[in-house]
C-alpha cells in the first residue's frame, strides 16, 4: 500500500518548489503554482509498486488455461476487479499519472505496452499472423486506455465490469473481426 502513502503528499513549501521547478538552472516565479509538481522518486516507486501489482494479477489470469479469447476475458476480468477494488488506486494508476512528468508517463506507457503484449497474442488467430504487426495491438491497448480514462474522468469505475464487454470488443476486434467482436457487447457483465 505504499502508493496510498504517496497519494496525498504534503504540499511542498514555496522555497522547496523554487528549488525544484525549472530544472536546468532556469528558475523563476513564473514556473511556480502551475501544473501539479513532477512526481519525485518516492511517488514514482509507489506507482511502480501498484503497477507491478496490477500486472501480476492480470498476467496471472492471462497465463491461465484456454484459448487466447478466453484468456483475454480472464485478464480483463482480473484487471477490472483490481481497479474496482480500490477506486483511488485506479485513479492513481490511470489518471493522476498524467501531468506527473515524463518519467511517470514512461511508467504508464510500460503498463500499456504490457497490455499490448497480451493483445498481440491475437495475431495467432489470423490465417496469416504476419499480415499485421504489433502496431495493431498498440492501437487496441491505447483504445482500451482511452475508454478507461474517459470513464474515470466522468466519475469512476465502481461499475467497471459493466464496461468489460466494450473493452473486450476493442481488444479482440482487430483479430476476430467486427461481427465476432460485436458478440462481446451482448455478453452479460457477470459472465
Partner 1 sequence: MALSATVARRMAETRSISERLATLPPGRHLVPHDFVVQNQRERMLLATAELVAERGYRRTTIESIAKTARVALTTFYEHFESKEECFLAAFDENVDAAAEVFAELVDPELDWTEQISTGLEVFLEMVATETPRATLCLVESQAAGPAALARYQGMLERVAPKLREGRALNPRSARLPEGLEVALAGGIAWLVHQRLVAGEVAEIKALLPEMLQIALTPYVGEVEAGRAADAAQARIAA
Residue with cell 530544472: 23
Residue from 52, 185, 187, 189 touching partner 1 (CB under 8 A): that is 185
Position 8 contacts partner 1 (CB under 8 A):
no
Binding piece for partner 1, criterion CB under 8 A, among 11-19, 42-50, 60-68, 100-108? 100-108
Residue with cell 465490469: 161
Measured CA to CA, the distance from residue 148 to residue 86 in angstroms comes to 15
Binding piece for partner 1, criterion CB under 8 A, among 7-15, 24-32, 43-51, 85-93? 24-32
Dihedral of CA atoms 152, 155, 159, 162 in degrees, nearest 10, equals -60
Q: Which residues contact 162 (CB under 8 A, 6 or more apart)?
A: 189
Q: Nearest approach, Cβ of 154 to partner 1 (angstroms)?
A: 10
Q: Which cell goes with 161?
A: 465490469
How far from each other are the two terminal CA atoms of the chain, in whole angstroms? 30
Binding piece for partner 1, criterion CB under 8 A, among 1-9, 19-27, 52-60, 86-94? 19-27
Binding piece for partner 1, criterion CB under 8 A, among 1-9, 30-38, 41-49, 82-90? 30-38
DSSP 124-163: GGSSSGGGS-HHHHHHHHHHHHHHHHHHHHTS--TTGGGG
Q: Nearest approach, Cβ of 60 to partner 1 (angstroms)?
A: 25
Which residues are near partner 1 by CB under 8 A?
A: 22-24, 26-28, 30-31, 34-36, 38, 98-102, 104-106, 109, 112, 132-133, 135-136, 138-147, 149-150, 153, 166, 169-170, 173-174, 177-179, 181-182, 185-186
Amino acid at each position: 500500500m505504499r502508493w496510498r502513502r504517496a497519494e496525498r503528499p504534503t504540499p511542498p513549501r514555496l522555497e522547496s518548489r523554487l528549488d525544484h521547478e525549472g530544472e536546468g538552472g532556469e528558475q523563476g516565479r513564473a514556473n511556480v503554482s502551475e501544473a501539479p509538481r513532477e512526481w519525485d522518486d518516492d511517488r514514482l516507486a509507489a506507482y511502480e509498486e501498484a503497477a507491478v501489482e496490477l500486472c501480476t494479477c492480470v498476467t496471472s489470469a492471462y497465463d491461465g488455461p484456454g484459448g487466447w479469447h478466453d484468456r483475454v476475458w480472464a485478464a480483463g476480468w482480473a484487471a477490472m476487479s483490481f481497479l474496482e477494488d480500490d477506486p483511488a488506486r485506479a485513479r492513481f494508476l490511470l489518471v493522476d499519472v498524467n501531468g506527473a512528468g515524463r518519467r511517470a508517463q514512461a511508467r504508464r506507457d510500460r503498463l500499456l505496452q504490457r497490455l499490448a503484449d497480451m493483445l498481440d497474442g491475437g495475431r495467432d488467430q489470423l490465417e496469416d499472423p504476419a499480415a499485421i504487426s504489433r502496431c495493431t495491438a498498440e492501437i487496441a491497448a491505447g483504445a482500451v486506455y482511452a475508454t478507461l480514462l474517459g470513464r474515470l474522468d466522468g466519475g469512476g469505475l465502481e461499475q467497471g465490469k459493466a464496461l468489460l464487454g466494450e473493452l473486450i470488443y476493442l481488444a479482440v476486434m482487430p483479430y476476430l473481426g467486427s461481427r465476432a467482436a460485436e458478440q462481446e457487447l451482448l455478453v452479460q457483465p457477470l459472465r
